[in-house]
Amino acid sequence: MKNFIFTSILFALLLTVNAAPFQLNKRAITFGPCHLGIPTDLIDVKIGTDPPKSGKDESFDVSGNLTKDDITKGKTILQIQYGDENGFLIGDSYLQNFIDTIKAGTPFKISASNVTTPKLPDSYLLGVVVADPTDDPSTFNVFGCALASV
């Protein structure tokens, strides 16, 4: 009888451990702060298909309230980028200019459709940034940011 109980418990434990990874894969992506070393506002991000599918176009709704920086029409950009776990970019960054000027402290919302999703590894980072470009074309003044580890 003891062997039967032990075998039943062991079998139940193996089934639970085996099922756990599949449950984790079905979780929705959760965005958090970027930890860039400079203060930025956390922005809200909603994805059309969660998680994004490799090679498919995706839509993003981004909103928030920048506390100290104005969004400038034609200058401020929305940037969406995928990266590997080491921070190296996967594919091209998506860039879209804001079409309205919005004062700091005023809620904003911007939608991006047809954002190409690159071929994704099993684990990756997804970053969404609201920023102004600087004189150096490779850098930005980041106002708001959200990062997800998938």
Ordered structural domains, the chain, with CATH: 28-149 (2.60.40.10)
**Residue 81: its pLDDT value, please?**
92
pLDDT tens per residue across span 110-128: 999 888 888 888 888 999 9
Q: What is the pLDDT of residue 96?
A: 92
Kindly give the parts of the chain with pLDDT less than 70.
Answer: 1-27
92 in Cβ contact with 80 (< 8 Å): no
For position 50, what pLDDT does the model report?
A: 75
Q: Which residues does residue 133 pair with via DSSP β-bridges, in sequence order?
A: 140
Q: What is the pLDDT of residues 88-98, one digit of tens each?
A: 888 888 999 99
Supply the DSSP string of 3-17, one letter for each residue: HHHHHHHHHHHHHHH
Q: What is the model's pLDDT at position 27?
A: 55
**Token representation of residue 134:** 């600087």
Supply the pLDDT for residue 107.
94
